[in-house]
């Protein structure tokens, strides 16, 4: 079992292995006192892994209570957080108890947010079961729900007490959901690790568990330097400013990973018109080889209208993440209007 330790406002381990889900009871027993664990999961994941997790926790002396939501982004609401909190109240969950997120990014973000606000904060454990959650959302303590004005607009920083990843759980993923996670994996290579980029450039040619561990190390390093997203954590948004705009314009019919893949290509084109070395062809080839469509269906004006409402805007400025080299991205803060000009110059 691989262990990566994060030193942020809380110190916690990320345990990574394959075929280790039934070992979760022992891992928790070694770290935490017996308590009640409130599990949040969804109706796709819980039937697959709920029993293994609850049996393992019960055998290790923990009491469990489970709350299952419908799978999908539409469930990431304040109402569903309230329902989960109501379940914890009914089950007499106290500050010495814990939340456990069993699922992908939606479940992880919601469970983390519920844990951040219930009784002014209780500990939580992430058990990610999608590639995207494994390499990104389960690590680093960003928790949130969506509101009608936008995705993730209500949230809190709350670091987990443990992340427990059994990479075998990724074997049951729908191929499109697995592919979505690869957009984030490719992103890590482009922003901070050219060797990782070279390794993942050819789909199916590498050990996925090792690649996931490397992505988590990169995220750990970023979070340790900028936990509260005031500076270099922004690098993790490579492809996301344009990607979020694409997702929103498509009314979320284009998935997060597909939108980020397309957003990374747009960022490469914008970098080129900024005078940086042109990596458009290299990035386009890799994301295409994973099956992503790199043609942006929206114009520069359409993208800009959404980018203006991005929550990551600082006053009148927008910070773009642009590749200077593969493995070295830069944060470029500029007036919002310049982003529109650059997109137009880049041919969007």
Binding site for ligand GLY (CB under 6 A): 136, 140, 142, 229, 233, 236
Least distance (Å) from ligand GLY to the CB of residue 183? Answer: 12
Q: Which is nearer to ligand GLY, 191 or 326 (CB)?
A: 191
Phi and psi for 342 in degrees, rounded to 5? -65, -40
Q: Minimum CB separation from ligand GLY for residue 126, in Å?
A: 13
Q: How far is the CB of 125 from ligand GLY (least distance, A)?
A: 18
Between the alpha carbon of residue 175 and those of residues 50, 97, 112, 170, 220, the distances in Å are 22, 36, 26, 10, 27
Contacts 24+ apart (CB under 8 A), 68-72: 68/40, 68/41, 68/42, 68/43, 69/40, 69/41, 69/42, 69/43, 69/106, 69/107, 69/110, 70/42, 70/43, 71/42, 71/43, 71/44, 71/45, 71/103, 71/106, 72/42, 72/106
Least distance to ligand GLY, CB of residue 223, Å: 7
Helices and strands of the chain, counted as H and E runs: 13, 11
Question: Which of 132, 211 has the CB closer to ligand GLY?
Answer: 132
Closest CB 142 distance from ligand GLY, rounded Å: 5
H/E run at residue 37: strand 36-42
Residue 110 or 346 with smaller CB distance to ligand GLY: 110
Nearer to ligand GLY, 37 or 261 (CB): 261
Residue 158 or 233 with smaller CB distance to ligand GLY: 233
Name the closest residue to ligand GLY (Cβ).
236
């Amino acid at each position: 079992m691989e262990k990566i330790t994060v030193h942020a406002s809380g110190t916690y381990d990320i345990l990574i292995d394959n075929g280790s889900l039934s070992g979760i009871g022992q891992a928790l027993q070694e770290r935490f006192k017996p308590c009640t664990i409130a599990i949040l999961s969804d109706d796709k994941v819980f039937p697959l892994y709920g029993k293994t997790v609850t049996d393992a926790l019960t055998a290790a002396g923990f009491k469990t209570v489970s709350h299952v939501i419908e799978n999908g982004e539409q469930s990431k609401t304040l109402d569903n957080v309230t329902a989960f909190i109501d379940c914890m109240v009914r089950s007499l969950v106290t500050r010495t108890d814990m939340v456990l997120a069993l699922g992908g990014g939606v479940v992880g973000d919601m469970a983390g947010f519920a844990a951040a606000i219930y009784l002014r904060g209780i500990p939580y454990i992430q058990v990610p079961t999608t590639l995207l959650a494994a390499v990104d959302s389960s690590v680093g303590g960003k928790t949130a729900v969506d509101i009608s004005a936008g995705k993730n607009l209500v949230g809190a920083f709350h670091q987990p007490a443990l992340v427990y990843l059994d990479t075998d759980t990724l074997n049951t993923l729908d191929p499109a959901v697995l592919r979505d996670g690869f957009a984030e994996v490719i992103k890590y290579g482009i922003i901070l690790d050219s060797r990782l980029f070279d390794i993942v450039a050819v789909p199916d040619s590498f050990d996925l568990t090792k690649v996931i561990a490397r992505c988590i190390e990169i995220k750990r390093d970023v979070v340790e330097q900028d936990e509260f997203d005031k500076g270099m954590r922004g690098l993790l948004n490579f492809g996301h400013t344009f990607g979020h705009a694409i997702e929103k314009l498509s009314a979320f019919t284009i998935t997060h990973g597909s939108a980020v893949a397309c957003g990374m290509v747009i960022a490469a084109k914008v970098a080129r018109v900024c005078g940086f070395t042109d990596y458009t062809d290299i990035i386009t080839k890799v994301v295409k080889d994973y099956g992503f469509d790199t043609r942006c269906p929206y114009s520069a004006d359409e993208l800009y209208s959404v980018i203006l409402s991005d929550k990551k805007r600082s006053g009148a400025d927008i910070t773009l993440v642009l590749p200077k080299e593969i493995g070295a991205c830069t944060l470029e803060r500029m007036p919002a209007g310049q982003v529109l000009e650059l997109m137009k110059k880049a041919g969007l």
